[in-house]
Amino acid sequence: MKRTNRRDALRLGAVLGSGLAARGEEPRSLGTPLSAYGERSPFVKPVRTMRQTKTPEAGSSATPLADTYGIITPSSLHYERHHAGVPNIDPARHRLVIHGMVERPLILTMDDIRRLPSVSRIHFLECGGNSGGEWQAKNQPDVQRSYGLASCSEWTGVPLRLLLEEAGVKAGAKWLIAEGADACKMQRSVPLAPELDYALLAYGQNGEPLRPSQGFPLRLLTPGWEGNVQVKWLQRLLVTDQPHMTRDETSKYSDLMPDGKARIFSLPLEAKSVVTFPSGGQTLPGPGLYEVTGLAWTGKGLVTRVELTFDGGASWVEARMDEPRFPRAFVRFRMPWRWDGKPVVMASRATDETGYVQPTREQLVAARGMNSGYHFNGIKLWRVGADGVVTNVEGA
């Protein structure tokens, strides 16, 4: 009885009926045998979209955010950003060197590192350039291409602090220079800030070793900071008293302000969110019940609230967030929504534990101008047309 009522309330009766009829036609022959390493169903198609460049080794690929559930990104769909391709590293030959302003320089093998006390934590990773096209309102057609340089995994590794204490950081040291073992030996200067208490030397991702794309066998993970500092294929940490002003922290990943000065080392990513359903490129088949859903995150701790607007930002209603929520991790939000078939402009807005509220694009542009392609966290509006087609709201 209760069940019937619920079915009536969701108006799914016709759908369930036809589904049961289809089930009866299933073949009863044996299925495929066991497999040593799993693969997804051939019916499941979402893949990473790749930004086409002349040198594919120096490109990026984006997570299909609208096609992932919950907060964990499958490792095979984690976004990729490589400046010189993915090196093929034999973990038995890999070394991590910690030197510079330390009492006891260290050379560690992967076996040494894996013997140390470790932790597993869920954290998002986002490129500082994610959704950078929104500054110019050069909107990509879908959420994957505009927001897909962000993913979330369970990472396992050794707290960075543990190894810095082991090496004995000398008084006056203020920076780490982290270096990768890829062809460009990517380097970033990392401030010895309190946030490094959360930092890991990560070797695990979603229950298995890091994928080569994510830095196998070892990467620096500085949760909440822009992706670029989270150096993959980590082979060296030089402890110094000043930053090295490397390519990726001066000409790249810095924000040129309207007065001609650049914001540099703006590492913590601020509260951000995006509706993934409905989102650009999708079509609602008709009026009726839907679940609006999406992802929110902040580099500054916990997301404490996500609100939704269905009238272009005039009014906001609170969405439900999945629990548990983790600091510096994706948060999944949801809200049942009955679409009446009229055009709607919708968006999400995240608030973090510091009280910071995700700004509008206009507020960001007023504060920082439009020279930068980095660190965009403005509210993202989608329009649902009367035909159900979901598109970008230009310039909004």
Ligand X SMILES: Nc1nc2c(c(=O)[nH]1)N[C@H]1C(S)=C(S)[C@@H](COP(=O)(O)O)O[C@H]1N2
Q: Which residues would be at the binding site for Mo ion (CB under 5 A)?
A: 81, 127, 227-228
User: Binding string, 86-125, against ligand X, x = CB under 6 A?
Assistant: ---------------------------------------x
Coil, strand, or helix at residue 326? coil
Q: Of the listed pieces 97-105, 231-239, 254-262, 334-342, which binds ligand X according to CB under 6 A? A: 231-239
Looking at this protein, which amino acid is placed at residue 106?
A: L
Q: Where are the beta strands (DSSP E) in 110-191?
A: 119-126, 150-159, 175-180, 187-191
Within 10 A of 199 (CB to CB), how many other CB atoms are there?
A: 24
Within 10 A of 322 (CB to CB), how many other CB atoms are there?
A: 13
Query: At closest approach, how far in Å is the CB of 316 from ligand X?
Result: 31
Which residue number places its CB atom closest to ligand X? Answer: 180
User: Binding string, 166-185, against ligand X, x = CB under 6 A?
Assistant: --------------x-x---
Which residue from 65, 75, 77, 82 is in contact with ligand X, where contact means CB under 6 A?
A: 82
CA nearest to 110, candidates 219, 230, 221, 231? 219
Strands 344-352 and 175-180, bridge-based pairing: unpaired
Query: At closest approach, how far in Å is the CB of 15 from ligand X?
Result: 38
Which residue from 222, 228, 372, 377 is in contact with ligand X, where contact means CB under 6 A?
A: 228
156 or 228: whose CB is closer to Mo ion? 228
Distances from the Cα of 238 to the Cα of 94, 229, 235, angstroms: 17, 14, 10
Please report, as residue ranges, which positions from 119 to 138 form the binding site for ligand X (by CB under 6 A): 125, 127
Which residue from 66, 158, 164, 231 is in contact with ligand X, where contact means CB under 6 A?
A: 231
Q: In the structure encoding, which two tokens stand for residue 331, read together?
A: 């948060």
Query: At closest approach, how far in Å is the CB of 248 from Mo ion?
Result: 8
Euclidean distance between CA atoms 160 and 177, whole angstroms: 13
4 or 52: whose CB is closer to Mo ion? 52
Kindly compute the dihedral angle of the four CA atoms of residues 58, 145, 264, 179, in this order, to the nearest 10 degrees: -30
Query: At closest approach, how far in Å is the CB of 294 from ligand X?
Result: 20
Assess contact for 90 and 209: CB atoms under 8 A.
Answer: no
48 or 300: whose CB is closer to ligand X? 48
Query: At closest approach, how far in Å is the CB of 235 from ligand X?
Result: 9
The dihedral built from the CA positions of residue 174, 210, 298 and 323, taken in this order, carries a sign that is: negative
124 or 337: whose CB is closer to ligand X? 124
Q: In the structure encoding, which two tokens stand for residue 38, read together?
A: 């799993």
Binding site for ligand X (CB under 6 A): 78-83, 125, 127, 180, 182, 186, 213-214, 227-228, 230-233
